[in-house]
Amino acid sequence: MTARDERAGRVFHALADATRREVVSRLAQAPATATELAGSLPVSRQAVAKHLQALDAAGLVARSRVGRAVQYELNPTVFDEAMAWMAETGTRWDERLRRLQARAVSPSGAPRSRRDR
Amino acid sequence: MTARDERAGRVFHALADATRREVVSRLAQAPATATELAGSLPVSRQAVAKHLQALDAAGLVARSRVGRAVQYELNPTVFDEAMAWMAETGTRWDERLRRLQARAVSPSGAPRSRRDR
DNA sequence: CGGTTGTGCAACTATCAGGTTGCATGAATT
DNA sequence: AATTCATGCAACCTGATAGTTGCACAACCG
């Protein structure tokens, strides 16, 4: 705890906001710029830019200039820290992972669907 | 997305705060009351009470009266929703779960320790 | 070169969240 | 019944943050 906890905390904080979660969700499908994302979101471009800045600071996304545009792409490995924290804190490590794994359907494709509840 | 996402969001929000994470961590070891927790935390009892209220609202803990005291205990199953969100959002389901599983040491005991960084 | 378009920066507002103190309530204990 | 002690409620302060608008700057296109 502490170093791990801190980083996990940053991830949790980043994912606590609905808009930010939506942004992350979009970036998980394809890299995009702030203006692109803002085009299909109910907030201004600057708001999105701020969120991206926050996500960047948390290490969740990576910046890269394309032309004059700045593309952001997701860095999913950072999730691991947070997931590990949760799995360790919640008792019964293995059982929880098994249960989680039971949700996975196709190996690498898009599992999802089925009883969204 | 939406129902799942919302609940995951509540969990993320709950775990975004350091104090709250500490509380969760304590409750993972043993049930406790607000005053007990406050005794070993740098904040007031009321602050802890608020946090517990938030955690309760998020479904992370369960209340139960003992005498005149109110004990809280952790409900780890709620973590799954959030973990699933992360695992699904981060691409490569299986690979991430394998990597996560590699961190587990003893089956059901207290894994922890070893290279906290 | 001039227009267009995407970023970046700044100021400002409003809401929310974590924290405090103070007091009231309610259930054991003696 | 009186006391004790944990909880619950309320008002209040302060800092962070999500959002906005406005404008300046840089780069691409014609």
> Within an 8 Å CB–CB cutoff, is residue B57 touching chain A?
no
Candidates B4, B23, B98, B101: best to mutate against A (most CBs of A within 10 A) is B101
Count of helices and strands (H, E) across chain B:
6, 3
Q: What is the pLDDT of residues B57-78, one digit of tens each?
A: 999 999 999 999 999 999 999 9
Nearest to A86 among B83, B107, B116 (CB): B83
> Within an 8 Å CB–CB cutoff, is residue A113 touching chain B?
no
Among the listed residues A101, A52, A95, A24, the one whose alpha carbon sits nearest the alpha carbon of residue B12: A24
Partners of residue A101 in chain B, C-beta under 8 Å: 97
Q: What is the pLDDT of residues A55-77, one digit of tens each?
A: 999 999 999 999 899 999 999 99
Torsional sign, CA B80, B84, B86, B87: positive
* pTM, to two decimals: 0.86
The count of C-alpha atoms lying within 13 angstroms of the C-alpha of B80, restricted to the half-sphere facing its C-beta, is: 18
Phi and psi torsions of B64, nearest 5°? -165, 125
Nearest to A94 among B5, B25, B107 (CB): B107
C-beta atoms of B84 and A103 within 8 A: yes
- Coil, strand or helix: which one is A116? coil
Q: Tokens 């471009």 belong to which residue?
A: A45
Counting as low any pLDDT under 50, the low residues of chain B are 106-117
